[in-house]
Copies of this chain bind each other. A is one copy, B any other.
Amino acid sequence: MRGAPIEFWFDFSSGYAYFAAHVIDEVAQRHDRSVLWRPYMLGVAFKHTGARGLSSTPMKGDYARRDWARLARITGLGFQLPPNHPITALPASRAYYWVEERFPEQAHEFARRAFRAYYSEGADMSSPANVAALGEPLGIPTADLEAGLASPPLKERVKAVSAEAIEKGVFGSPFFLADGEPFWGWDRIPMLEQWLRTGSW
């Protein structure tokens, strides 16, 4: 891969990030780039922007639910908003960094499975045991991952990454950085791709 990795910032409870997670690696690959996946706590950014989750915002919540269903039809991806949405995505975020360090080749697929478990299989992703079990088919030992999830360094890691997001001006999900150029939102992927193709404007 030539060129610096594209940074893909997201929260595992974000509907638009679910759709982005299924295409971003292919987009990058077409332009000979890798992707650095960076799950973080969107709630930390919300404290800075004063925003709140889409689903719990009047009018916008209705639009988002309709829009996600529409994106599911357009993309052919399954999508079933969990009845308890939004729930904390903290266990999945912590798990991601554990997997990334020990099973880097499986990390993106692990993340996509976490998204699918939440957004099309109705799994309770606030449960560390459920999150840990997602790695099994990828050869990631469930017991080790579950033990790792409770470790203080992993908690600190996600906090530190979330602070890094704020420092970089990242406040949404999905949010992409390519060579420092910021792109906010699923619908900016074509513009991100234009950037990757041309390198400047």
Contact = CB atoms under 8 A, between A and B. Distances in A.
Interface of A: 45, 48-52, 57-60, 62-63, 66-67, 70, 73-74, 166, 169, 171, 182, 184-185, 187-188, 190-191, 201
Nearest to A45: B59
Contacts of A49: 57-60
Contacts of A166: 59
Nearest to A168: B59
A169 B201 CA distance: 35
The binding surface of chain A is classed by DSSP as helix
Copies of this protein in the assembly total 2
A171 B73 contact: no
21 contacts: A49-B57, A49-B59, A50-B57, A51-B51, A51-B57, A51-B60, A59-B166, A60-B171, A62-B169, A63-B169, A63-B171, A63-B182, A67-B182, A67-B184, A70-B201, A73-B201, A74-B201, A185-B185, A185-B187, A187-B187, A190-B190
Contacts of A48: 58-59
A63 B60 CA distance: 20
A187 B57 CA distance: 21
Nearest to A189: B187
Most chain B beta carbons < 10 A, residue from A52, A57, A63: A63
Given A45-B59, A63-B169, 12 more contacts: A49-B57, A49-B58, A50-B52, A51-B51, A59-B169, A59-B171, A60-B171, A63-B171, A66-B182, A67-B184, A70-B201, A74-B201
